[in-house]
Amino acid sequence: MLLNRLHDPSAQHHTNMIELRNMLDVTLFQFESALGLLRTIVDLLWLSPPCALSMDYNRLKLLVLRTISERGATDSSAVAAALNVAGVGLDVHAIRMALMRYYRQGLLTRKRKFGLYIYDLSERGVRRLAWLESSARADSFEHKVE
> Per-residue pLDDT tens for 89-143?
788 898 999 999 999 999 999 999 888 999 999 999 999 999 998 887 766 544 4
pLDDT-derived band of residue 144, with 50, 70 and 90 as boundaries? very low
Q: What is the pLDDT of residue 66?
A: 92
Return d(Cα 61, Cα 132) in angstroms, integer: 8
Q: What is the pLDDT of residue 130?
A: 94
pLDDT of residue 1 exceeding 90 = no
> Per-residue pLDDT tens for 23-78?
666 565 566 665 555 555 555 454 444 444 445 778 889 999 999 999 999 999 99
Sign of the torsion angle spanned by Cα atoms 48, 40, 81, 53: negative
Q: What is the pLDDT of residue 120?
A: 96
One-character DSSP codes across 63-128: HHHHHHHHH-SEEHHHHHHHHHHTT----HHHHHHHHHHHHHTTSEEEEEETTEEEEEE-HHHHHH
Of 88 and 8, more confident: 88
Non-local (6+) Cβ contacts of 46 within 8 A are none
